[in-house]
Structure 1
């Protein structure tokens, strides 16, 4: 048998050991390492600030330097990388720290049960979280801390998805129905970009109060209304000429997505717009990494179904529902696509 090439060995090691990157990043965010470094620190002073042993601090910094998130100057001062300053300080405008917490404490934790989920044909990772409802979202509804962690993380993730905002057809809509609108992050960003736009945000009862508080904090209570609605079982609020699903549909099975597309088609008047902003995998279903990760999460814990479906599936389902014009805005660099159907 031929020996492994250096490249093959490196590739195999990356697959086997990639979780270490996640762990190093998560621990650094838990401890507030990057904020401490930003205030000024050496290895010795950082261990004291964090109240951890200097040896453990060296091990953590070994990982952070390998990730190129932190460097050390000749005088011993630790320095955050530009990306760290932009996205990993707790108070930065583009902070992804809440999503790092979501990734570690919900997604990564649950996806350790992927093998069981496949063998048992259910979202076995849900066993990590107390409750008896069949989805993560149901269990979050009775666990305020878990739900807050989730929505803060998704809010951070959504804020760094700028390409959706560039979809020009938003300018053709006067009132947008934001289905599964979460804490209102999308509604805020859209209203800030399109000054004449109004939004009706709907989500489950446990989420709506968070959305109302977020909307009010941004001074948009006169343009964004929030209502507790089950998007499958309840009628949708009237008076909207646009509907948006943002990071919602990929959670569900094809049959449930077809149902929602048909419901949207029945709801919208002629000329109305349906917007879809979703994780989507490559057409050959061979990647990318974000679509793979999210699909594992959906199957293992979120709902037990769903995946980052390819664009062709969504186009087929939209056509079946009666939408005859579909524009595509590709964002493959981040495993996303925006679709606009009329």
Structure 2
């Protein structure tokens, strides 16, 4: 047996050991506003001056950004943004993911350094990074407005992954939708804009509802979207809805809690009601792509101490056990997601 590592094996090992560098380069570039400065025209010297960093450090940063293929440098020294950077990494771009990059760096990546400890102690040890005594990240954010704002701005950007959810024709047959754990109202707003006759009742924790109301009023939709402070598990849900949606909510919780929410939904809806699920989901053989792995690690290490990007088959089984008789799947495996409509 040849014990020498092949070049391919070495490259794979280096990628595993050093992949965090890509995250750090991207996060630093977004923190500094590098792509916005480059968009206005820049060279190494002018970029360093406008960022107020020394040229050597700027040179190292550009080394990383060029490896990520986010910028290029011409023979004359002119630096330009790659199309991906221009589309997603300018702060004011329509599809800007900068808020989610910040969430990823300041919450997810920071907390997931505690993954070993979380596994050994059987708790979400990454929570130690954040002040407070609440047992989940969401509870601690409720007493830290800046942290909660960072989170919801990031998740608002992340929901731009959901155009396939928005396009499900079944939404057209719903008159009022209950958005459970609806966050800052991003999904409610986008659904109302796409379906002119749809009305939404959004429920979430009290500190989140304030942000949702402000966001909805800013979009001129206060007459179509109502917000109520409700604990999704323990409180009765507002009546009058013929559809229920969970968007990026269920994967946070344990199977037992998801099953309880599915049973609660079935009891809430009449026989013609519809349940919509938009969630991170791994492959049914659980060999997961990067996004489902990263999110699952985040849930266990900090968010709730439970949860993962469960396989589609698990959700289908849980829905059947809760009393739903017809489940339609809209696959989005390229981004580790799936949309389900249960009747």
TM range (shorter): over 0.9
2-side partners of 1:193 and 1:9: how far apart? 49
Q: State the partner residue of 1:323.
A: 324
2-side partners of 1:46 and 1:315: how far apart? 52
Are positions 1:172 and 2:173 aligned together? yes
TM-score scaled by length of structure 1: 0.99
Deviations 1:95-141 (A, max 9, x none): 00000000000000000000000000000000000000000000000
- The answer (yes or no) to whether the contact 1:94–1:160 under 8 Å persists in 2 is no
2-side partners of 1:73 and 1:161: how far apart? 36
Are positions 1:55 and 2:56 aligned together? yes
1-side partners of 2:55 and 2:49: how far apart? 8
Structure 2: which 5+ residue stretches go unaligned?
Answer: none
Q: State the partner residue of 1:288.
A: 289
Q: State the partner residue of 1:234.
A: 235
2-side partners of 1:289 and 1:175: how far apart? 35
TM-score scaled by length of structure 2: 0.99
Q: SS at 1:200's partner residue?
A: strand
1:113-128 aligned at under 5 Å gives the runs: 113-128=114-129
Q: Tell me how far 1:64 sits from its aligned partner.
A: 0.2
2-side partners of 1:335 and 1:324: how far apart? 25
Q: State the partner residue of 2:153.
A: 152
Q: SS at 2:3's partner residue?
A: coil
Q: State the partner residue of 1:258.
A: 259
Aligned-residue Cα RMSD (Å) equals 0.6
Q: State the partner residue of 2:136.
A: 135
Q: Tell me how far 1:185 sits from its aligned partner.
A: 0.5
Q: SS at 2:245's partner residue?
A: strand
1-side partners of 2:109 and 2:23: how far apart? 9
Q: State the partner residue of 1:191.
A: 192
What count of residue pairs does the alignment treat as equivalent? Answer: 342
Q: State the partner residue of 1:299.
A: 300
1-side partners of 2:229 and 2:40: how far apart? 43
Q: State the partner residue of 2:30.
A: 29
Q: SS at 2:275's partner residue?
A: strand
Q: State the partner residue of 1:14.
A: 15
1-side partners of 2:181 and 2:317: how far apart? 22
Q: State the partner residue of 1:245.
A: 246
Q: SS at 1:238's partner residue?
A: coil
- The answer (yes or no) to whether the contact 1:159–1:185 under 8 Å persists in 2 is no
Q: State the partner residue of 2:278.
A: 277
Q: SS at 2:234's partner residue?
A: coil
1:84-99 aligned at under 5 Å gives the runs: 84-99=85-100
Q: Tell me how far 1:73 sits from its aligned partner.
A: 1.4
Structure 1: which 5+ residue stretches go unaligned?
Answer: none
Q: SS at 1:297's partner residue?
A: helix
- The answer (yes or no) to whether the contact 1:204–1:229 under 8 Å persists in 2 is yes
Q: Tell me how far 1:161 sits from its aligned partner.
A: 2.2
1:39-54 aligned at under 5 Å gives the runs: 39-54=40-55
Query: Is 108-117 or 212-221 further displaced after alignment?
Result: 212-221
Q: State the partner residue of 2:333.
A: 332
Q: SS at 2:178's partner residue?
A: strand
Deviations 1:211-266 (A, max 9, x none): 01111111111110111100001000000000000000000000000000000000
Q: State the partner residue of 1:205.
A: 206
Q: SS at 1:44's partner residue?
A: helix
- The answer (yes or no) to whether the contact 1:43–1:54 under 8 Å persists in 2 is yes
